[in-house]
Amino acid sequence: MIDKFLKNSYGISERVLELAKIADQKAAAAYERADKICQYNSLRVLKAFGDHNVSEAHLGATTGYGYDDLGRDTLDSIYAEIFGGEDALVRHNIVNGTMAIATCLYGILRPGDTLVAATGKPYDTLEEVIGIRDGSSGSLKDFGVGYRQVDMIDSKVDYDSLRASIDGTVKAVVIQRSKGYDWRDTFSVNEIGEIIKFVKSINSEIVCIVDNCYGEFVEDKEPCSVGADLIVGSLIKNPGGGLAQSGGYIVGTKDAVEKVSYRLTCPGIGRECGASLGNNRTFYQGFFMAPHIVCNAVKAGVFCSALFEELGYEVNPASDDVRSDIITSIKFGNESSLIAFCQGIQKGAPIDSFVVPMPWDMPGYENQVIMAAGAFVQGSSIEISADGPIKPPYVGYFQGGLTFETARLAIMVAAQKVIDCNQN
Ligand SMILES: *Cc1c(COP(=O)(O)O)cnc(C)c1O
């Protein structure tokens, strides 16, 4: 029944149907692992909602200054508890993940301090925040904050260089959990714990900040549980559960979160103000759904790895690797396959499936970029999406999928298109 539907409605060939079955068999253990983590995280979230007596009163809107916003303040406590911190700021007006990280950096660092990046060059959008790119007005560099970058060796932290980079001026170290647009392994929460332990053994006062984007709920704990002082992410990725329409979160120690709150609003006001408007309902429901939605995205990633392994491609992570984020990268080796892949993913999206994505000159990027996105929330990448820069070795990045069933279809359509384009 299903195979016939896939064949008739989406033109999936016998070969891809057959490979998809093999892929599912290969992925069985990884699916089961994801289900177990989902079960555990779902129960933890449910219990936190109960412990905090979440009720209809928490879901409503506040306006104006937003003093005593019960929904906002309680959700902060729930995020803090679930992510292993002491305090949190969950806000719709943290406009994206970049702002969440930047807010932490500006909240902690002062003129004369130095920031160290322990896991190589941070995510592209942070270059202008830090001042790595010349002429970015208002960067940390503009404010007299120094920066040192410890590049990785073979996907691993270069501990000797990290030690050498830490002198008396270093106030904060930033660690990126996810691979982002790099071909490297994602750090597990335990590996992040080792990096933090190393930094703290040199100077326990250094504030360790983890860019946790794409990692939330993929494991059974988050980096605050292994010593991170601050972790941050975007609500249109994992923790928004596909329902949050905008926003970001910051979780950490009481002291660090308080400092950051004075940057988020202003000194003296901190977390006391900031009306949640109408966002509480979707933030709560999204967080409640998030473990399950993330599980779907993880399984989609596993299936994607398994299917493209069967087709002979190098993928990262491999189908049986333990995952710590929702990104799967595939080395296509030629431009037309990467384009075909993204066009196939687009066809399997619920919104804008009729659109055919093409490479374009995206501002801020050296090469052309192709992006597939068909989401209910613009730019949301917990929803199914794929992208890649048009340059050798033509790596495509796949992430998201609100439902495993539909993401699985999109991946099969993409595989079919890649096969077809290589036969022409
Ligand atoms: C998404 C992401 C960010 C932040 O990106 P925004 O588009 O600003 O939300 C930062 N770091 C990593 C690793 C990411 O994946």
Comparing CA positions, the residue from 72, 19, 420 lying closest to residue 261 is 72
Orientation of helix 14-51 relative to helix 70-82, angle to 10°? 120
- Residue 116 alpha carbon to ligand 1 centre in Å: 18
Q: How far apart are CA 7 and CA 15, in angstroms?
A: 11
User: What pLDDT does 362 receive?
Assistant: 83
Pair of tokens at residue 212? 């946790």
Q: Please identify, by atom number, the ligand 1 atom nearest to the C-alpha of residue 327.
A: 15
Q: What is the DSSP letter of 153?
A: B
Longest dimension (CA), the chain: 67
pLDDT at residue 364 tops 70: no
Confidence of residue 183 (pLDDT cuts 50, 70, 90): confident
Averaged pLDDT for residues 316-330: 97
pLDDT score, position 180: 80
> Taking Cα atoms as reference points, which of 415, 413, 410, 412 lies closest to residue 399?
410
155 neighbors 185 (Cβ within 8 angstroms): yes
Q: What spacing in Å lies between the alpha carbon of 96 and ligand 1's midpoint? A: 7
* 52 vs 71: CA distance, rounded Å: 11
Report H helices in 242-360.
254-264, 280-310, 335-347
β-pairing verdict for 114-117 and 146-149: parallel
Mutate to test the pocket of ligand 1, among 174, 211, 250 (most ligand atoms within 8 A of CB): 211
Q: Which helix (H) or strand (E) holds 358?
A: none
pLDDT at 208 over 90: yes
| Contacts made by residues 266-269, CB under 8 angstroms, sequence distance 24+ | none
Question: Is 180 near ligand 1, meaning CB less than 6 Å away?
Answer: yes
Q: Residue 201: which residues within 8 A CB-CB, separation 6 or more?
A: none
Average pLDDT estimate for 296-316 = 98
Residue 174 Cβ < 6 Å to ligand 1: no
Q: Is 210 in the pocket of ligand 1 (CB under 6 A)?
A: no
**d(C-alpha 22, C-alpha 210), whole Å:** 37
pTM over 0.85: yes
Decide: 198 and 143 in contact? Cβ < 8 Å: no
Q: Give the confidence band of 157 by pLDDT, cuts at 50, 70, 90.
A: very high
Give the model's pLDDT for residue 128. 92
CB atoms within 10 A of CB 332: 23
For 86-97, the pLDDT digits (tens) are: 999 999 999 999
Q: How many angstroms separate the alpha carbon of residue 213 from the centre of ligand 1?
A: 6
pLDDT of residue 286: 98
* For residue 366, pLDDT beyond 80: no
What is the strand order of the sheet 248-252 is part of? 87-91, 248-252, 230-234, 207-211, 170-176, 114-117, 146-149
Q: Which of 119, 176, 213, 380 to mutate to test the pocket of ligand 1 (most atoms within 8 A of CB)?
A: 213
Q: What's the token pair of residue 268?
A: 């003296």
| Residue 387, helix vs strand vs coil | strand
Q: Determine the distance separating the centroid of ligand 1 and the alpha carbon of 212, expressed in angstroms.
A: 9
Tell me how far the alpha carbon of residue 97 lies from the centroid of ligand 1, in angstroms: 5
Give the Cα separation of 406 and 143 in Å (integer). Answer: 47
Res 331 pLDDT > 80: yes
Mean per-residue pLDDT, 203-222: 98
Dist. CA 52 → ligand 1 center (Å): 30
Evaluate: CB of 123 within 6 angstroms of ligand 1: yes
Distance of CA 5 to the CA centre of its chain: 33
**CA distance linking residue 285 with residue 148, whole number of Å:** 40
Q: Say yes or no: CB of residue 214 within 6 Å of ligand 1.
A: yes
